[in-house]
Homo-oligomer: A and B are copies of this chain.
């Protein structure tokens, strides 16, 4: 069992036009910059993949990572909770021009919908968003006298994930708050693609400390010194990055 692939290009090779792609991260923490850029590289070389639906908490920042993916014109629709940030100009302009679709989801509902997708739960009830515009058109039901909104699972064709360590079986750990949506997205995608800062030998991760068991992971590529989106944006970086 060895889920390692040769390079970033091989890692993202299976992502096709029209797919739904979950991308880990909350702001810059846990955002798989190198995988995203490899996907843009392919698009610039081949014109594909395009018309992607992307699931992420945010809408990108600056001109790297998710923002660069949007800027390249590869994203048809974004499913997220908070498309505002210090510099979301790329998304904002396209959105206000009607050129990108937005499905706004409360953050906890987004997390739970992704977890439900991974856990085989097609629908669940939550108090979140009851009585608000974001509950419009959704079934409502009372349990023990309190109203709840029914929400559906969210699944993806692929997930791009940033991990701290991996082993060849695909077991993963994360770094600090870079964990966020990453473990959930690993569960909810058909093809979970991971960049890890270090790939350890089998048994290199204590089974007690594995956060994502390998069964949720399809491909791993080692990216020894990953760039951090926040650092890049503070330095004014723009895709493509210098090596």
Q: Which residues of A contact B (CB under 8 A)?
A: 112, 116, 119-127, 141, 143-144, 146, 148, 152, 173-176, 207-209
User: Shortest CB–CB separation between residue A120 and chain B, in angstroms?
Assistant: 7
The answer to whether A208 touches B173, judged by C-beta atoms less than 8 angstroms apart, is: yes
Give A144 to B207 CA distance when docked, in angstroms: 36
Give A69 to B176 CA distance when docked, in angstroms: 42
Give A143 to B126 CA distance when docked, in angstroms: 18
The answer to whether A125 touches B127, judged by C-beta atoms less than 8 angstroms apart, is: no
Which residues of chain B have C-beta atoms less than 8 A from A209's C-beta? 208-209
A/B interface sample: 26 pairs, CB < 8 A? A112-B119, A112-B121, A116-B124, A120-B126, A120-B127, A121-B124, A121-B126, A122-B125, A122-B143, A122-B144, A122-B146, A122-B148, A123-B124, A123-B125, A123-B141, A123-B143, A123-B148, A124-B124, A143-B152, A173-B208, A174-B208, A175-B208, A176-B207, A176-B208, A208-B209, A209-B209
The answer to whether B126 touches A125, judged by C-beta atoms less than 8 angstroms apart, is: no
Give A173 to B209 CA distance when docked, in angstroms: 9
User: Shortest CB–CB separation between residue A188 and chain B, in angstroms?
Assistant: 15
Which residues of chain B have C-beta atoms less than 8 A from A175's C-beta? 208
Which residues of chain B have C-beta atoms less than 8 A from A148's C-beta? 122-123
User: Shortest CB–CB separation between residue A143 and chain B, in angstroms?
Assistant: 4
A125: contacting residue among B124, B173, B176, CB under 8 A? B124
Give A27 to B125 CA distance when docked, in angstroms: 32
Which residues of chain B have C-beta atoms less than 8 A from A143's C-beta? 122-123, 152
Give A146 to B146 CA distance when docked, in angstroms: 28
User: Shortest CB–CB separation between residue A123 and chain B, in angstroms?
Assistant: 5
| Given contact pairs A112-B119, A121-B124, A123-B141, a sample of 18 additional A-B residue pairs in the complex whose CB atoms are under 8 Å apart | A120-B126, A120-B127, A121-B125, A122-B125, A122-B143, A122-B144, A122-B146, A122-B148, A123-B125, A123-B148, A124-B124, A124-B125, A143-B152, A173-B208, A175-B208, A176-B208, A208-B209, A209-B209
Which residues of chain B have C-beta atoms less than 8 A from A112's C-beta? 119, 121
